[in-house]
Amino acid sequence: MAHQAAPGAGTRLFHPGFEGHSQISARTLGFWLYMLSDALLFTALFAAYAVLDTPMNAAGGPIASQIVNPIEGFWQTIAILASVTCYSLATVAMKNGNRAGTALGIIAAMVLAVVFLAFGFNDLATLTAHGNGLGRSGYLSAYFVLILTHAVHMLIGILWMLVMLVQIPRYGFNEMVVARMLNLRMFWQFQATVWVCVYIYVYMIGA
């Protein structure tokens, strides 16, 4: 066995400048673990939705088959997947050092995300206008909270993209900016993953 110095007062367990460490890898793995915990939040909301998705919990109000439209949901699905693809393509442009291409991909992703949110908010506003708002029944509470939680994530993602549109021309593709772009890519792809679950569970099985 090779001789190893015993740990002492001078021993450093972690050194940020050590060449074996990768700041980008550490940041992306940490953010990935955060996203898995965020996924558990959605899991709890899906569990609540599953429990409250019964005529009794609709309390005389509408049930899923009366408020969701699989065809309209499909347009939303295309919008969010196109948004995710545009952002992912922006990171391909980043890989090639193309700042203009990166910005263009981010802007396209933002526009498509706004289209997605417009569909969703229009649905919720229409329901509320007809007296079927958040507090109408247990079922509608679960429905609104699930949809709105996802929408809030989308809004945070759009805000994050705006920040990146400022940081890329200001700092260039340095280590921090690249790590943030990669984390945002995971975050944005995660929104599409959650939406697939929402679309299948609420818009299809509910229909």
Partner 1 sequence: MAGSHSDPLAHPEVRQGGALRYIAGFISTVALMGAAMVVTLRHDLAYSSFVELVGGLAFLALLSQAVLYYGLDISRSQIWKSVSLILTVPLFIITVGLTVWMFQSLDQRTMLMPTTLQQPTLLQ
The yes or no reply on residue 124 touching partner 1 (CB under 8 A) is no
Judged by CB under 8 A, the stretch of 108-116, 119-127, 142-150, 169-177 that binds partner 1 is 169-177
The yes or no reply on residue 48 touching partner 1 (CB under 8 A) is yes
Residue 7 CB, nearest approach to partner 1 (Å): 22
Crossing angle (nearest 10°) for helices 70-95 and 175-198: 160
Residue 153 CB, nearest approach to partner 1 (Å): 16
Q: How far, in Å, CA of 187 to CA of 167, rounded? A: 18
The yes or no reply on residue 56 touching partner 1 (CB under 8 A) is yes
Q: Which of 125, 152, 163, 200 binds partner 1 (CB under 8 A)?
A: 200
The yes or no reply on residue 71 touching partner 1 (CB under 8 A) is yes
Residue 113 CB, nearest approach to partner 1 (Å): 15
Residue 59 CB, nearest approach to partner 1 (Å): 11
Q: Which of 66, 77, 118, 122 binds partner 1 (CB under 8 A)?
A: 77
Q: Which of 28, 128, 149, 167 binds partner 1 (CB under 8 A)?
A: 28
Judged by CB under 8 A, the stretch of 7-15, 49-57, 112-120, 145-153 that binds partner 1 is 49-57
